Amino acid sequence: MTETRRTWSEAESARYRAAGHWQGVTFGARLRASAAAHGGRVALVDGERRWTYAELDTEADRVARGLRGLGIGRGDRVVVQLPNRAEFLLVWFGLQRLGAVPVHAMPGHRRREIGHLVRVAGAVACVVPDRHARFDHRELMRGVRAEQGAGGSLRHVVVVGDPGPDEGFVPFEALRAEAPAESGPATDDGGADAADVALLLLSGGTTGLPKLIPRTHDDYSYNARACAEVCALDARSVYLAVLPLGFNFAFACPGVLGTLMAGGTVVVAPDPSPQTAYALVEREGVTLTSLTPPLVPHWIDEAASGTWDLGSLSVVQVGGARLPEDHARKLGPALGVTVQQVFGMAEGLINLTRLDDPEDLVCATQGRPVSPDDEVLVVDADGRPVPDGTAGELLTRGPYTLRGYYRVEEHNRTAFTPDGHYRSGDVVRRLPSGHLVVVGRIKDQINRGGEKVAAVEVEEQLLTHPAITAAALVGVPDERWGERSVAFVVCTGTAPGVREVAAHLRERGLAGYKAPDEVVRVPALPLTAVGKVDKAALAQELPRP
Ligand SMILES: O=C(O)c1cccc(O)c1O
């Protein structure tokens, strides 16, 4: 199959190379170079296990050989759904060494989401844990495999941990062990080109199931490096990965990749509790971490216990959803750190407040673009730029912002302007300093503490419940989550309660975080003048907090 990928023009590419943004180096080659430059430094820590750069490089070779034994090679897509353990990165770099393409699934994804990713990506393999968070991923993969059938692309399921009896699942450990040490991969990266797609990220999505975001070696390493520069990372930096590694924020803003590119150390936290994190901060001398807003009050409370020495921690990033200004003001003093607000998107553009920004900008804005070549337009409903200070939709293009989603040509025609700006759907105000304040969004998506829920996807599934005849999922302001989701339903007979609805959606294979927080029965859904469901009117019907 030939396919044309929407990408940057030759002139733009030349400009980004000339500016030094794109360096023409693949991730597989970068790891090799890091092993040569600082092989003895610690790259990765997971509990009692640690890997130097040289060991991580060798491990990537081993994993690559095992994966190659399964027939995986350059350009092949592999869905990776792993929790915050070192194996995520061992698999990730093993794939990079082959020029294969990891697809970042989220830990909460279930049969519908994983099945969709496998189909759209044409994935040849999935890598999952045996069990995680009281959920059996082998069971999930049995379902996915059965659904894909013999005609599908899926050929292998690799399980980290116990693969279970007799399913043809490949144990990750055997994959590593069986790889003969002498038959090393001939290349650092399977012959991949830096302009190739290095990984596929997921969009928050508004139009149903997640879309895949192609990120190239050139653009994604610039994403990580530009963020690392703003955060002043160097070889002494120690990054604690608290949020899921599959999330762009924790992976490359600057996160894991930015830290490794600076020669620092990545520590993975198995859970996001402040107790777990603070113990790791003390033990490993963590300097930087990133959080979503719902975690912030817990982290503040635990710091107040006075039992932890957080002296090494210098910067805490908060992003993924709107951070209440009051929490922003308390966080820095409570932990003795510099706070950085992060507003970004897996599609590209990352905004960060700067470490030396005055407190008011740090607490009341969501930062400004990391690259001088990020182009930001704030436009009205007709696509005309609005003056600074006026709210409008954020459009953007630049050296690390996608020019088209993966294999959805129809959608790409409207998701971008003719001159290649991505229509983010976020509504922002720009200040004269260039800092952005996020005021909302025009897209029909609920941001529940950083987990993005596409309303239409949930609505479609609600309608499969026998008692529900019409449904609208609406985001309403919430103290803890920023937004919580409320399902307004029109029913015949008895309306299902919130638990029954959650069970029904789970039954349908939907990730648990997409279940509505509340179910409200209404006689009918109100409509706007043009006949769309009037979600603003529905939100008004709720009692005020
Ligand atoms: O939602 C965000 O703010 C965000 C921040 C950093 C990176 C991302 O991918 C994001 O979606």
What pLDDT, in 10s, does the model give residues 28-43?
999 999 999 989 999 9
Check pLDDT > 90 for residue 456. no
CB of 343 within 6 A of ligand 1: the answer is: yes
Q: Within 10 A of 466 (CB to CB), how many other CB atoms are there? A: 10
Confidence of residue 543 (pLDDT cuts 50, 70, 90): confident
Check pLDDT > 60 for residue 2. no
Check pLDDT > 70 for residue 532. no
Which residue, of 387, 414, 441, is where some domain finishes? 441
Q: Which of 291, 341, 345 maximizes ligand 1 atoms within 8 Å of its Cβ, making it the mutation to test the pocket? A: 345
Check pLDDT > 70 for residue 367. yes
Q: Kindly indicate whether the ipTM for this predicted assembly is greater than 0.90, answering yes or no.
A: yes
- Would residue 139 count as lying in a domain? yes
Q: Mark whether 111 and 177 lie in a shared domain.
A: yes
Q: Which residue has the higher pLDDT, 532 or 164?
A: 164
Q: Mark whether 185 and 106 lie in a shared domain.
A: yes
For the record, the structure tokens of 248 come out as 């762009």
Q: Are 515 and 499 in contact (CB under 8 A)?
A: no
Query: Poorest-confidence range of 151-160, 240-249, 429-438, 441-450?
Result: 441-450
CB of 349 within 6 A of ligand 1: the answer is: no
Confidence of residue 487 (pLDDT cuts 50, 70, 90): very high
Mean pLDDT of 309-327: 93
Q: Mark whether 247 and 334 lie in a shared domain.
A: yes
CA angle 33, 34, 35 (to 5 degrees): 90
Mean pLDDT of 396-424: 96
Please report how many Cα atoms fall inside a 13 Å half-sphere around the Cα of residue 173, on the Cβ side. Answer: 6
Mean pLDDT of 203-212: 76
- What is the tens place of the pLDDT at every residue in 425-446? 999 999 999 999 998 778 788 9
What CATH number is given to the structural domain containing 244?
3.40.50.12780
SS (H, E, C) 297-330: HHHHHHHHCCCCCCCCCCEEEEECCCCCHHHHHH
Give, using CA atoms, the residue closest to atom 4 of ligand 1. Answer: 344
The residue type of 140 is: L
Q: Mark whether 179 and 270 lie in a shared domain.
A: no
- Would residue 203 count as lying in a domain? no
Mean pLDDT of 171-189: 78
pLDDT for the residue numbered 207 = 60
- Would residue 205 count as lying in a domain? no
Q: Mark whether 310 and 222 lie in a shared domain.
A: yes
Confidence of residue 17 (pLDDT cuts 50, 70, 90): very high
Confidence of residue 542 (pLDDT cuts 50, 70, 90): confident
Give, using CA atoms, the residue closest to atom 11 of ligand 1. Answer: 345
Confidence of residue 382 (pLDDT cuts 50, 70, 90): confident
CB of 221 within 6 A of ligand 1: the answer is: no
pLDDT for the residue numbered 442 = 80
- Would residue 188 count as lying in a domain? yes
Which residues constitute the domain of residue 408? 216-441
pLDDT for the residue numbered 1 = 45
Give, using CA atoms, the residue closest to atom 2 of ligand 1. Answer: 320
- What is the tens place of the pLDDT at every residue in 118-148? 999 999 999 999 999 999 999 999 999 999 9
Lateral strand order in the sheet of 170-171? 170-171, 156-160, 125-129, 77-80, 101-104, 197-202, 212-216
Q: Which of 200, 249, 365 maximizes ligand 1 atoms within 8 Å of its Cβ, making it the mutation to test the pocket? A: 249
Q: Are 88 and 96 in contact (CB under 8 A)?
A: no
Mean pLDDT of 215-223: 98
Q: Which residue has the higher pLDDT, 251 or 187?
A: 251
- Would residue 45 count as lying in a domain? no
- Would residue 7 count as lying in a domain? no
pLDDT for the residue numbered 3 = 64
Which residue, of 441, 456, 472, is where some domain finishes? 441
* 467 burial via Cβ count (<10 Å: 0-12, 13-18, 19+): middle
CB of 345 within 6 A of ligand 1: the answer is: yes
pLDDT for the residue numbered 440 = 77
User: What is the CA(323)–ligand 1 centre distance, in A?
Assistant: 12
Check pLDDT > 80 for residue 204. no
Check pLDDT > 80 for residue 190. yes
> Which ligand 1 atom sits nearest the alpha carbon of residue 346?
9
Total structural domains in the chain?
3
Q: What is the spatial distance between Cα 346 and Cα 289, in angstroms, rounded to a whole number?
A: 18
- Tokens 């995680």, located at residue: 132
Confidence of residue 545 (pLDDT cuts 50, 70, 90): low
CB of 251 within 6 A of ligand 1: the answer is: no
CB of 258 within 6 A of ligand 1: the answer is: no
What CATH number is given to the structural domain containing 135?
3.40.50.980
- CA-nearest of 260, 191, 267 to 220 is 260
Give, using CA atoms, the residue closest to atom 5 of ligand 1. Answer: 344
Q: Mark whether 418 and 437 lie in a shared domain.
A: yes
Q: Mark whether 423 and 451 lie in a shared domain.
A: no
CB of 319 within 6 A of ligand 1: the answer is: yes
Q: Mark whether 182 and 303 lie in a shared domain.
A: no
Q: Which of 295, 343, 370 maximizes ligand 1 atoms within 8 Å of its Cβ, making it the mutation to test the pocket? A: 343
Q: Mark whether 151 and 239 lie in a shared domain.
A: no
Q: How far is CA 219 from CA 16, 43, 215, 243, 348, in A?
A: 9, 22, 6, 22, 9
- Rounded percentage of the chain residues whose pLDDT exceeds 70: 96
- Would residue 405 count as lying in a domain? yes
User: What is the CA(319)–ligand 1 centre distance, in A?
Assistant: 6
What CATH number is given to the structural domain containing 525?
3.30.300.30
What's phi and psi for 476, nearest 5 deg?
-125, 150
CB of 291 within 6 A of ligand 1: the answer is: no
Q: Which of 350, 370, 438, 452 maximizes ligand 1 atoms within 8 Å of its Cβ, making it the mutation to test the pocket? A: 350
Check pLDDT > 80 for residue 25. yes
Mean pLDDT of 400-405: 98
CB of 210 within 6 A of ligand 1: the answer is: no
Q: Mark whether 310 and 351 lie in a shared domain.
A: yes
Give, using CA atoms, the residue closest to atom 7 of ligand 1. Answer: 249
Cis peptide upstream of residue 254 (ω within 30 degrees of 0): yes
Mean pLDDT of 239-249: 97
User: What is the CA(494)–ligand 1 centre distance, in A?
Assistant: 40
Confidence of residue 530 (pLDDT cuts 50, 70, 90): low
User: What is the CA(249)–ligand 1 centre distance, in A?
Assistant: 5
Q: Mark whether 94 and 226 lie in a shared domain.
A: no
- Would residue 417 count as lying in a domain? yes
Confidence of residue 529 (pLDDT cuts 50, 70, 90): low
Q: What is the spatial distance between Cα 94 and Cα 62, in angstroms, rounded to a whole number?
A: 7
- Rounded percentage of the chain residues whose pLDDT exceeds 90: 82
CB of 370 within 6 A of ligand 1: the answer is: no
Q: Mark whether 437 and 449 lie in a shared domain.
A: no
State the average pLDDT for the chain.
93
User: What is the CA(253)–ligand 1 centre distance, in A?
Assistant: 8
- What is the tens place of the pLDDT at every residue in 250-309? 999 999 999 999 999 999 999 999 999 999 999 999 999 999 998 999 999 999 999 999
SS (H, E, C) 20-80: CCCCCCCHHHHHHHHHHHHCCCEEEEECCEEEEHHHHHHHHHHHHHHHHHCCCCCCCEEEE
> Which ligand 1 atom sits nearest the alpha carbon of residue 248?
9
